[in-house]
Structure 1
Amino acid sequence: MKARQESKSVNLQPLPGFMRGGGEVSCLLQAMDWGRSPLGPPDAWSPALKGVVATLLSAEAQIVLFWGPQYAALYNDAYWPTIGDKHPAALGQPAQVHWRELWDDLEPLLRGVRETGVSFSAKDRPFYIERHGPGETAYFDVSYSAVREADGAVGGVLCIVTETSERVYFQHRQAFLQELRQALPGLGQAERIEAHAVRRLAKELGAARVCFGEDLGDGRYRVGQEWAAHVPPITGINQYAALDPALREALLAGQVVQRNYEANSAMPGFQGLCATLHAPVLRAERLEAMLAVHFHTPHAWTPNECVLVQETASQVWAAITHARAERALHALNEDLEERVVNMLAQREASLVHLHEARKAEIIGQLSGGIAHDLNNMLTPIIASFELLRRHPQQERAERLIDGGLQAAERARNLVGRLLSFARRQTLKPVTVSLAALVADMHELMARSLGPAIVLQVDIDTALPGVLVDPHQLELALLNLVVNARDAMSEGGQLIIRAGANEGSVPRPRGLEGGRQLWLQVSDNGCGMSDEVLEHCIEPFYSTKGVGRGTGLGLPMVQGLALQSGGGFSIRSWVGRGTEATLWLPASEAEVVERFVETDAPQQAQRPTRVLLVDDEPLVRQATLMQLRALGYEVTEAQGPAEALGLLDQGLVPDALLTDHVMAEMTGARLAQQVRERLGQLPVLIITGYTNLTPRELHGFDVLRKPFRQDELGRSLARLLTARG
Structure 2
Amino acid sequence: MSTPSIANEQLCSQPSTDMGHVSELLQNCDWSHSPLGAPAAWSASLKTTVRMMLASHAQIVLFWGPDLAALYNDAYAPTIGEKHPGALGRPAVESWTELWDDLEPLLRRVMETGETFSAQDRPFYIERHGYGETAYFDVSYSAVTEVDGSMGGVLCIVSETTQRVLSTRRQALLLDLEDQLRAANDAEHAQQIAEHLLRRELEASITYFAEPGALLKTPFQGEGLASSGVSSPAQPSSHTGVAFTRAQREASDHVFEIDVPVLRNGAVIGQFSLTRSIPRHWTDQEVDFARSVVERAWNTAERCRAERALHELNSELEDRVAQALRQKEEALDRIHEMQKLETIGQLTGGVAHDFNNLLTPIMGALDVVAHLQGSDPRINRLTTAGLQAAERARTLIQRLLAFARRQHLQARPTDLGSLVFGIEDLLARTLGPQIRLEIECAPGLPLAMADPNQFELALLNLSVNARDAMPEGGKLEIALSDERVAGQTHLVDGQYLRIAVSDTGSGMDTQTLRQAIDPFFTTKGKEHGTGLGLSMVHGFAVQSGGHFSLISEPGRGTTALLWLPAFLGHADVEPRPGKVDTRVRRTQPATVLLVDDEELVRSVAAEMLSDAGYTVLQASSGYEAIAVLGKHPEIKALITDYAMPGLTGAELARQVAKLDPALPILMITGFAATDGKIAIKTPRLSKPFGQAELVRAVDSLLEHSQRNLDAV
Unaligned 5+ runs, structure 1: 1-183, 191-196, 198-211, 218-253, 255-280, 287-312, 316-335
Instruction: Provide the rounded CA distance (Å) in 2 between the counterparts of 1:508 and 1:489.
Output: 36
Instruction: Provide the rounded CA distance (Å) in 1 between the counterparts of 2:359 and 2:552.
Output: 38
CA contact (8 A) 2:619 2:625 kept: yes
Task: After TM superposition, give the deviation of residue 585 of structure 1 in Å.
Answer: 1.9
Q: CA RMSD in A?
A: 4.0
Q: Helix, strand or coil for the counterpart of 1:515? A: strand
Partner of 1:554: 534
Matching of residues 494-573 of structure 1 within 5 Å = 494-501=476-483, 510-573=490-553
Q: Which runs of 4+ in 1 moved over 6 A?
A: 212-217, 336-340, 343-347, 598-601
Task: After TM superposition, give the deviation of residue 342 of structure 1 in Å.
Answer: 4.7
CA contact (8 A) 2:399 2:536 kept: yes
| Distance 1:606-1:572 versus aligned 2 partners, 3 A rule | same
CA contact (8 A) 2:587 2:612 kept: no
Amino acid at match of 2:355: L
CA contact (8 A) 1:497 1:519 kept: yes
Partner of 2:370: 389
1:363 aligns with 2:344: yes
Instruction: Provide the rounded CA distance (Å) in 2 between the counterparts of 1:366 and 1:655.
Output: 34
Amino acid at match of 1:554: L
Task: After TM superposition, give the deviation of residue 518 of structure 1 in Å.
Answer: 1.6
Task: After TM superposition, give the deviation of residue 442 of structure 1 in Å.
Answer: 1.2
Task: After TM superposition, give the deviation of residue 613 of structure 1 in Å.
Answer: 1.4
Instruction: Provide the rounded CA distance (Å) in 2 between the counterparts of 1:656 and 1:213.
Output: 66
Instruction: Provide the rounded CA distance (Å) in 1 between the counterparts of 2:369 and 2:631.
Output: 35
Task: After TM superposition, give the deviation of residue 525 of structure 1 in Å.
Answer: 0.8
Amino acid at match of 2:334: H
Partner of 2:405: 423
Task: After TM superposition, give the deviation of residue 528 of structure 1 in Å.
Answer: 1.5
Instruction: With the length of structure 2 as denominator, give the TM-score of the two structures.
Output: 0.53
CA contact (8 A) 1:434 1:459 kept: no
Give the paired residue count: 417
Residue by residue, what CA displacement relative to the aligned partner does 1:339-380 show, whole Å, maximum 9, x if unpaired? Answer: 973586699665322322222222111111112211110000
Task: After TM superposition, give the deviation of residue 507 of structure 1 in Å.
Answer: 9.7
Instruction: Provide the rounded CA distance (Å) in 2 between the counterparts of 1:617 and 1:464.
Output: 48
Task: After TM superposition, give the deviation of residue 644 of structure 1 in Å.
Answer: 2.6
Instruction: Provide the rounded CA distance (Å) in 1 between the counterparts of 2:671 and 2:340.
Output: 23
CA contact (8 A) 2:229 2:277 kept: no
Partner of 1:653: 635
Amino acid at match of 1:371: A
| Distance 1:341-1:622 versus aligned 2 partners, 3 A rule | same
Task: After TM superposition, give the deviation of residue 559 of structure 1 in Å.
Answer: 0.4
Unaligned 5+ runs, structure 2: 1-204, 207-217, 220-225, 234-251, 260-275, 279-302, 314-326, 707-712
Instruction: Provide the rounded CA distance (Å) in 2 between the counterparts of 1:654 and 1:544.
Output: 52
Partner of 2:569: 589
Residue by residue, what CA displacement relative to the aligned partner does 1:65-110 show, whole Å, maximum 9, x if unpaired? Answer: xxxxxxxxxxxxxxxxxxxxxxxxxxxxxxxxxxxxxxxxxxxxxx
Identity %: 42
| Distance 1:692-1:285 versus aligned 2 partners, 3 A rule | closer
Task: After TM superposition, give the deviation of residue 671 of structure 1 in Å.
Answer: 2.9
| Distance 1:371-1:314 versus aligned 2 partners, 3 A rule | closer
Partner of 1:442: 424
Task: After TM superposition, give the deviation of residue 487 of structure 1 in Å.
Answer: 0.8
Partner of 1:630: 612
Amino acid at match of 1:590: H
Partner of 2:699: 717
Residue by residue, what CA displacement relative to the aligned partner does 1:183-239 show, whole Å, maximum 9, x if unpaired? Answer: x99xxx99xxxxxx9xxxxxxxxxxxxxx999999xxxxxxxxxxxxxxxxxxxxxx
Partner of 1:376: 357
Partner of 1:163: none
| Distance 1:393-1:356 versus aligned 2 partners, 3 A rule | farther
Amino acid at match of 1:472: Q
| Distance 1:693-1:592 versus aligned 2 partners, 3 A rule | farther
Partner of 2:462: 480
Instruction: Provide the rounded CA distance (Å) in 2 between the counterparts of 1:510 and 1:396.
Output: 54
| Distance 1:461-1:440 versus aligned 2 partners, 3 A rule | farther
Q: Helix, strand or coil for the counterpart of 2:588? A: coil
Amino acid at match of 1:490: E
Instruction: Provide the rounded CA distance (Å) in 1 between the counterparts of 2:255 and 2:622.
Output: 63
Q: Helix, strand or coil for the counterpart of 1:500? A: strand
Instruction: Provide the rounded CA distance (Å) in 2 between the counterparts of 1:677 and 1:482.
Output: 51
Instruction: Provide the rounded CA distance (Å) in 2 between the counterparts of 1:448 and 1:616.
Output: 39
| Distance 1:420-1:697 versus aligned 2 partners, 3 A rule | farther
Instruction: Provide the rounded CA distance (Å) in 1 between the counterparts of 2:659 and 2:642.
Output: 19
2:601 corresponds to which of 604, 619, 628:
619
| Distance 1:607-1:509 versus aligned 2 partners, 3 A rule | same
Instruction: Provide the rounded CA distance (Å) in 1 between the counterparts of 2:514 and 2:525.
Output: 19
Instruction: Provide the rounded CA distance (Å) in 1 between the counterparts of 2:394 and 2:304.
Output: 55
CA contact (8 A) 2:231 2:256 kept: no
| Distance 1:394-1:649 versus aligned 2 partners, 3 A rule | closer
Matching of residues 207-286 of structure 1 within 5 Å = 283=256
Partner of 1:111: none
2:308 corresponds to which of 319, 322, 341:
341
Report the structure number with the largest CA radius of gyration: 1
Task: After TM superposition, give the deviation of residue 532 of structure 1 in Å.
Answer: 1.6
CA contact (8 A) 1:655 1:682 kept: yes
2:440 corresponds to which of 449, 453, 458:
458
Partner of 1:352: 333
Amino acid at match of 2:516: C
Instruction: Provide the rounded CA distance (Å) in 1 between the counterparts of 2:603 and 2:304.
Output: 70
Task: After TM superposition, give the deviation of residue 446 of structure 1 in Å.
Answer: 1.1
Instruction: With the length of structure 1 as denominator, give the TM-score of the two structures.
Output: 0.52
Instruction: Provide the rounded CA distance (Å) in 2 between the counterparts of 1:626 and 1:675.
Output: 26
1:609 aligns with 2:591: yes
Task: After TM superposition, give the deviation of residue 282 of structure 1 in Å.
Answer: 8.9
Task: After TM superposition, give the deviation of residue 636 of structure 1 in Å.
Answer: 1.6
Amino acid at match of 1:563: Q
| Distance 1:345-1:458 versus aligned 2 partners, 3 A rule | farther
Partner of 2:452: 470
Task: After TM superposition, give the deviation of residue 426 of structure 1 in Å.
Answer: 1.7
CA contact (8 A) 2:483 2:495 kept: no
